[in-house]
Amino acid sequence: MRQPVIAILCVAFLASGCARQPSDSTAVTLESDEDKTLYTIGLALARNVAVFEFTPEELAAVQAGFADGVMNREPKVDIEEYLPKIRDLQVARMEAAAETERREGEALLAQAATQDNTVRTESGLVITTIEEGSGASPKATDNVQVHYHGTLRDGKVFDSSIERNQPATFPLNQVIPCWTEALQMMKVGGKARVVCPSNMAYGDRGAPPDIKPGAVLTFDVELLDIVG
């Protein structure tokens, strides 16, 4: 988890980027390359505070605090008292997001487990054989070469070697536990769909900005080779 001071700075910069129009980005004109660069700073910093999932009203409060600070106006609260509460809010929002993702993700896992040629292991992952391979199965200590396509619960692609048109090679014991287990159940040349429960993927910490805390992940995987 990022340190609170980083989250504080990111919130401040994010607020500064939209203080004039907190609810309508269409009012911003991006004409020059510098304008576009400044706008991109806002997009990049927003990723660091995505866990807060601000409502428009909450974002307005953040912007008001930033504006009072930079204009050296009298604060409406005791900053030393409330600074530590930022971390508390961050943790609470992360826990709430994780609980929602786990609940919705369990429904996805249950549905996936009803498909033909599917196994749900004791660890909770669901693997559906799409095409049987004819080669060897890797061990956890092997390096493997794969093509994969990873999606979130809503179908959004968060990572894909297929879209990059570049297979990935990695030690099987240095990836998320879901992959370590599932790939050992496949044979070279095989294809499978693997649905990973949160505790077998990135858990309650998630992998911001795309993978939320508690997220269930789905991978379409082709095991191309065992390398070395």
User: Is 202 tagged catalytic?
Assistant: yes
HSE-CB at 180 with a 13 A cutoff on CA atoms is 12
Catalytic pick among 8, 86, 162, 176: 176
Catalytic pick among 158, 162, 210, 225: 158
Residue at 199: amino acid letter: N
148 - beta bridge partners?
Answer: 221
Catalytic pick among 8, 13, 68, 148: 148
User: Is 148 tagged catalytic?
Assistant: yes
Beta strand ranges found along the chain (DSSP E): 118-120, 126-131, 143-151, 157-160, 168-171, 191-196, 217-227
User: Is 219 tagged catalytic?
Assistant: yes
Catalytic pick among 54, 211, 219, 226: 219
Catalytic pick among 159, 210, 220, 225: 159
Read off the tokens for 128. 């559906």
Beta strand ranges found along 9-121 (DSSP E): 118-120
Distance CA(97)–CA(103), nearest Å, equals: 10
Q: At what angle do helices 4-17 and 56-70 cross, to 10 degrees?
A: 90
For the residues of 137-200, what is the DSSP string, one character each?
Answer: PPPTTSEEEEEEEEE-TTS-EEEEHHHHT--EEEEGGGS-HHHHHHHTTS-TT-EEEEEE-GGG
User: Is 52 tagged catalytic?
Assistant: no
User: Is 162 tagged catalytic?
Assistant: no
User: Is 66 tagged catalytic?
Assistant: no
> What is the set of active-site residues?
148, 158-159, 176, 202, 219
